[in-house]
Amino acid sequence: MLKIRHFNVRDENFDTEFSAFIKDNHPQENDVSQTVRDIISAVRSQGDQALMNFTADFDRLQVTEASQLEIPQSELQKALQTIDASRRDALQKAQQRIQAYAEKQKLDSWEYRDEFGSLLGQRVTPLDRVGIYVPGGTAAYPSSVLMNAVPAKVAGVNEIIMVAPTPDGNINPTVLAAAAVAGVDRVFSIGGAQAVAALAYGTETIPAVDKIVGPGNIYVATAKRMVFGTVGIDMIAGPSEVLVICDDSAHPEWIAMDLFSQAEHDVLARVTLVSTCGEMLEKVEQAMNNLLPELERKDIIQQSVDTYASFIKVDNLEEAANISNQVAPEHLELSVASANELLDKIKHAGAIFMGHHTPEVFGDYCAGPNHVLPTSATARFSSPLGVYDFQKRSTILNCSDQGAANLSEIAATLAYSEGLQAHARSAEYRGKK
């Protein structure tokens, strides 16, 4: 039997107890900072040799030259042609939908002239080269390849470098096929902090990139945090999360499997169910107990649910929305009859799935929106990965004579007030006739 923590908003100590549960739901990870720091230092100083050593130690993959760590394009195409037709078709259809959605996100350059005839604007350009980290631990994630590479392609990134750990030299062929479908330029069979360091600083074989995206374990996350500033990063990903809001119109088995779909990611995954109907909470819990034995990853699911799952009874959907906003979940399902009305009350969520026929899993794979999302309540201030993460903006200013004369007086006055005489005189020069 699953052990699920139950809460009720009517309980006297609900706010205190639920807040404490959320806090405990985000425990401090084991500190791996020194280990990661040493790995980064070794890669920076020893380059390819350090990569080969770490790959042998951690992935049990022995190579004599770093060039052997690169998987050629011919292998990507071979994987694409040899996987079964249904899987190939699914990858291609997913890629098309992700691209169609990404095309809507593109930022465009713009400009205008002020009343003095000066030109002001913004120029949008793509990053030159990005690195994509694809996990290779308890499961393979070809979907992550698509979600990271396709927006970069749409943005116009010149070169996409993918890294993925290959324990014992093995890599899922669907991951390679996804790289082919997404148009990844180069793929290297390396992982962990050493892969992040190689992407950030470059080695004799692996070129340095401008930004690193994609999820990974605590070593990868820590490495991304440490190299930020030398390169850009997308975010520091935490455990997977889903919060489901449902009413008495929901389907218990559907909700149960939606919760399981996140719990099976990892023993640290967080699942939360909020409902206006106490009977529905009971039905979902019963469905979870009935369905669990059928699942291959039931041990992972059980540990996740027993440790981090919570069911919350609320009196109305407004209370449900308030709880969701407090949690700021990575994934939010609105499995209610009035999803459109409830949407207006939601302020913080990475991705929102509306209605009974919209499970979170569609977003994971193929609907179109990106599945790289803010976790651990960071949806309060951050957004899903998108094309805009692979574009940068430059401001443009071209002053007319009249415009310069106007700005000269304003700028000089403010510069003198800050005690910056050279600033002021630089402005005044442009104001002289």
Across 22-37, average pLDDT: 75
pLDDT, position 25: 56
Which pLDDT band, with edges at 50, 70 and 90, does 28 fall under? low
Strands 129-133 and 159-163: parallel
CA dist 315 and 334 (Å) reads: 16
Find how far residue 321's CA is from the centre of its chain: 23
pLDDT digits (tens, 9 = 90+) for 361-412: 999 999 999 999 999 999 999 999 999 999 999 999 999 999 999 999 999 9
pLDDT, position 140: 75
Task: Tell me the percentage of the chain whose pLDDT exceeds 90.
Answer: 90
Domains, in order of start, for the chain: 5-29+238-380 (3.40.50.1980), 33-114+125-233 (3.40.50.1980), 399-431 (no CATH)
Between 20 and 231, the more confident residue is 231
The answer, yes or no, to whether residue 27 has pLDDT greater than 50, is no
pLDDT, position 139: 61
Phi, psi of 133 (to 5 degrees): -95, 125
pLDDT, position 251: 97
Which pLDDT band, with edges at 50, 70 and 90, does 137 fall under? low
Instruction: Point out the residues that are catalytic.
Output: 330-331
The answer, yes or no, to whether residue 19 has pLDDT greater than 90, is no
pLDDT, position 31: 83
Strand partners, 335: 246
Which pLDDT band, with edges at 50, 70 and 90, does 29 fall under? low
CA dist 243 and 236 (Å) reads: 20
pLDDT, position 33: 93
pLDDT, position 410: 97
pLDDT, position 118: 97
Find how far residue 397's CA is from the centre of its chain: 34
The answer, yes or no, to whether residue 422 has pLDDT greater than 50, is yes
Radius of gyration over alpha carbons of the chain, in Å?
25
Rounded to the nearest integer, the mean pLDDT of the chain is 95
What distance separates the 2 farthest-apart alpha carbons in the chain?
85
